[in-house]
């Protein structure tokens, strides 16, 4: 499947690579939870619904995670929403 990408807003210093990779993984999980909500996967605690509302509304969780991942939250939100359209590629987080 093809991917749209979001690239970093700033270079990551060498001594912060591990920290940055962790935040990129957190963002990936947030996006996965939001997508899983739409796929009607079990959501007993409402975590997936909260992720979906936050990502689609460019809420505080997305903004917080993007801040540490050095990404523009509005760009992540826009690409996520575009990826929900039938036939559109999934969002991939590029780390050049």
pLDDT (tens digit per residue) in 21-64: 999 999 999 999 999 998 899 999 999 999 999 999 999 999 99
Question: Using one digit for the tens of pLDDT, what is the confidence trace for 73-93?
Answer: 999 999 999 888 776 656 555
How many whole angstroms separate alpha carbon 76 and alpha carbon 51?
13
Q: Are 4 and 83 in contact (CB under 8 A)?
A: yes
Q: What integer pLDDT is reported at residue 2 of this predicted model? A: 37
Distance from the first to the final alpha carbon of the chain: 20
Distances (CA, A) of 66 to 4, 11, 24, 42: 17, 14, 8, 26
């Amino acid at each position: 499947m093809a991917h749209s990408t979001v690239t970093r807003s700033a270079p990551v210093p060498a001594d912060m690579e591990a920290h940055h990779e962790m935040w990129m993984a957190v963002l990936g999980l947030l996006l996965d939870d939001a997508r899983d909500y739409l796929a009607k996967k079990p959501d007993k605690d409402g975590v997936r619904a909260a992720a979906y509302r936050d990502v689609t509304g460019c809420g505080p969780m997305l903004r917080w995670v993007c801040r540490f991942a050095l990404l523009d939250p509005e760009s992540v939100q826009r690409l996520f929403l575009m990826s929900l359209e039938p036939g559109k590629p999934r969002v991939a987080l590029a780390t050049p």
